[in-house]
Amino acid sequence: MVEMEMWLDREFGRDGHGKSSATAIGVDATAYHFQSLDHAARFLAPFPALALAIPVDRPATRGPLTYRWLAKGAGYRL
């Protein structure tokens, strides 16, 4: 995780990305936030074990977002 955060700071600057906790079944998760899909796709290249998702729905109760997976790992294009 430290390696990813160092990469993000170097590539996009400290204000060029964000992160928050995320919910995943059976694992700890972190949601990284980018200013563009191009930035998100660039982030996948050096970290191929990660997956890219976008929020597609928020329940009326303002509960957790539902995500749709866009890509996993390097070599995927948006």
Q: What is the pLDDT of residue 77?
A: 44
Q: Where are the domains of the chain?
A: 2-72
Q: Is 18 helix (H, G, I), strand (E, B) or coil?
A: strand
Count of CA atoms in the C-beta half-sphere (13 A) of 14: 0
Per-residue tokens: 35: 């200013």
Q: What is the pLDDT of residue 59?
A: 54
Q: What is the pLDDT of residue 64?
A: 56
Per-residue tokens: 31: 């949601």
Please identify every stretch of the chain with a pLDDT value under 70, giving residue numbers as ranges. Answer: 24, 54-78
Residues 6+ positions from 46 with CB-CB distance below 8 Å: 7, 74
